[in-house]
C-alpha cells in the first residue's frame, strides 16, 4: 500500500470525520459520542500539527495535536489524537502518522506529548510505546461511557507521555 503523510487541509475534513466516527463506534477510542463540526474541531487543534496519511484522494488515517492548557507555561505540551480507517489498521499507517506527528510537534516547539488511552485498547498502547511514550499513570474510572455497547460503564484511562530529546532541554 502506497501512501504519503501530508498536511491536513479543510478539504480533508469529511474523510477525517468519517475515520473519527469509525473510532468512536468502536467504543475504545474516545469518550466522545459524536464527531464535531469542522469549526469546533478546527478551533481545538494546533494548526501546524495536523496530518493525514493519503493515497491518491483517499485518506487512510489522521493525527493532530491539541493544547492541554491555555496557560503559557504549558505552551509546549500537547495531546495526541490519532485515528486510522478500520480497513487500514495494522498496516503501518498509525506508526507512520505518529512518527510524522512527532517531527511536526518538535518543529512547532512542543516538548511534551501526552495521550490518554482506554486500558483495553492494546493496539494504541503498543503504538505509543513503540514511539517512545512511557506510561505515567492510570486514571481509574475517569469517565462513564454515554454511547454504544459500553454505555453506562466506567472506564479507566492509561496516561502516556513522551518528552522530546531536542526541544525544551
pLDDT tens-digit map of 111-132 = 999 999 999 999 999 999 999 9
The average confidence (pLDDT) of the chain is 96
Bridge partners of residue 82, in order along the sequence: 63
What is the secondary structure of 14-72 as a DSSP string? HHHHHHHHHHHHHTSS-S-SSPPPHHHHHHHS-TTSEEEEEETTEEEEEEEEEES-SSG
Mean pLDDT of the 72-93 span: 96
Are the C-beta atoms of 112 and 163 separated by less than 8 Å?
A: yes
Q: For residue 148, what pLDDT is reported? A: 86
Mean pLDDT of the 66-86 span: 96
pLDDT tens for residues 7-50?
Answer: 999 999 999 999 999 999 999 999 999 999 999 999 999 999 99
pLDDT over threshold 90, residue 149:
no
Q: For residue 120, what pLDDT is reported? A: 95
Among residues 14, 35, 15, the alpha carbon closest in space to that of 24 is found at 35
Local confidence band at 168 (pLDDT 50, 70, 90 cut-offs)? confident
Local confidence band at 169 (pLDDT 50, 70, 90 cut-offs)? confident
Are the C-beta atoms of 138 and 159 separated by less than 8 Å?
A: yes
Among residues 58, 63, 55, the alpha carbon closest in space to that of 3 is found at 55
CA 73/CA 55 separation, integer angstroms: 38
In CATH terms, is domain 4-163 a member of 1.10.274.30? no
Amino acid at each position: 500500500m502506497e501512501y504519503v503523510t501530508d498536511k491536513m487541509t479543510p478539504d480533508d475534513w469529511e474523510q477525517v470525520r468519517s475515520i473519527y466516527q469509525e473510532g468512536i463506534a468502536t467504543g475504545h477510542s474516545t469518550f466522545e459520542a459524536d464527531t464535531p463540526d469542522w469549526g469546533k474541531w478546527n478551533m481545538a487543534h494546533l494548526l501546524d500539527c495536523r496530518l493525514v496519511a493519503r493515497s491518491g484522494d483517499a485518506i487512510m488515517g489522521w493525527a493532530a495535536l491539541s493544547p492541554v492548557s491555555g496557560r503559557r507555561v504549558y505552551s509546549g505540551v500537547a495531546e495526541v489524537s490519532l485515528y486510522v480507517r478500520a480497513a487500514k489498521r495494522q498496516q503501518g499507517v498509525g506508526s507512520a502518522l505518529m512518527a510524522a506527528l512527532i517531527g511536526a510537534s518538535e518543529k512547532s516547539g512542543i516538548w511534551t506529548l501526552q495521550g490518554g488511552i482506554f486500558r483495553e485498547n492494546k493496539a494504541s498502547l503498543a503504538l505509543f510505546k513503540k514511539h517512545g511514550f512511557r506510561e505515567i499513570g492510570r486514571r481509574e474510572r475517569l469517565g462513564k461511557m454515554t454511547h454504544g455497547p459500553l454505555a453506562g460503564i466506567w472506564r479507566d484511562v492509561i496516561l502516556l507521555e513522551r518528552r522530546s530529546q531536542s526541544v525544551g532541554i
